[in-house]
Structure 1
Amino acid sequence: MEQNKKELQITHVFDAPVELVFNAWTDPEILVKWYAPDGCTIEFKSLEVTENGSFHSCIHDPVHGDCWITGVYREVTFPEKLVFSMVLSNEAGESVGSLDAGKPEDWPKEIMTTVRFTPVGDQTELTIHQTVNEEEAKQTGAYQSWIKMFNILNRLISTSKI
């Protein structure tokens, strides 16, 4: 990609073992506690975290409305890596255009997300990479949402609520 078309990548260190952080990404009871930015909630109509398993979720945002997403898990390697697609959808799980979902016209139809979990002593270094332009992700708030969600997960870990 061109320099100004850098894809989104965020690295974050969690003060928890790698198995615990990986589990927070795959256990639906834990995911609903953190996988939505502050002030929002998430609902999973379906979630099967297995290779070729799928999900259908909605982030309920009181300001910007609902954002439905479907996806397929391409790779699930415990406790090292998750690779999954993300496609904007409606409540029925049908793909929708980016403008209909409140995203820029050139927002990708499908975003591939790769999450790597690396043990660093008793901590976990998590790196998330998405096939979306980082600048656009910052403009739409997607980038900031990841940071907010990681902060929520940090609080859950530090208060032993997962």
Structure 2
Amino acid sequence: MTERFITHSTFVLERVYDAPVERVFAAWGDQEVKRRWFSPTMEVDFRVGGTERSTFRNQPDGPLFTYEAVFRDIVPNERIVLTNHMHSDQDRIAVNLVSIEFAPENDGTRVTITDHGTYLDGRDRGDWREEGVGQELDRLAIELRPTALTSTMV
């Protein structure tokens, strides 16, 4: 028989991006943009009560992970609050409450993510999730880099 237990964990991550709040906020709700930095399988219905969903494997022969979230609160250019859960194959491994806050900082944007996690039966952990979210935020930084302007001489 499988031992059942819950582990709780909260983490806060902050990043400052060299992009205006409107552009950073839009990167969370635009499906095509989010596919570039979060997951190529991401499906987004960005509205209160809407959902986002992604599936992926960390290793070619590893389990299929499914991430599903529901947007609980959205204030444009200020905050997003969502609940999510993660499955490994058919087993639910985590349920989280996440807030994403956006604030102007100099000419850029400070993003603060607070993640309150409930990890089930040792199949997921807060430090693993924190590392994964950190990697996503690093990919967002790449997505938000200013595009080099080119000119041609006539």
TM-score (norm 1): 0.72
Q: Which residue of 2 aligns with 1:34?
A: 37
Q: Percent identity?
A: 19
Q: 1:159 to 1:122 in 2, by over 3 A?
A: closer
Q: Which residue of 1 aligns with 2:98?
A: 113
Q: How many residues align?
A: 137
The CA deviation at 1:61 is: 2.4
Q: Which residue of 2 aligns with 1:151?
A: 138
Task: Give the unaligned 5+ runs of structure 1.
Answer: 37-41
Q: Secondary structure at the match of 2:41?
A: strand
Superposition pairs of residues 125-136 of structure 1, within 5 angstroms: 125-132=110-117, 136=125
- Which amino acid in structure 1 is aligned with residue 66 of structure 2? W
The CA deviation at 1:97 is: 3.5
The CA deviation at 1:158 is: 1.6
Q: Which residue of 2 aligns with 1:77?
A: 75
**The one of 22, 26, 31 aligned to 2:25:** 22
Q: Find the aligned partners of 1:150 and 1:53 in 2 and give their Cα distance.
A: 22
- Which amino acid in structure 1 is aligned with residue 28 of structure 2? W
Q: Find the aligned partners of 1:22 and 1:59 in 2 and give their Cα distance.
A: 24
State the Cα RMSD in Å.
2.7
TM-score (norm 2): 0.76
Q: Secondary structure at the match of 1:61?
A: coil
**Radius of gyration: which is bigger?**
2
Task: Give the unaligned 5+ runs of structure 2.
Answer: 1-7, 119-124, 149-154
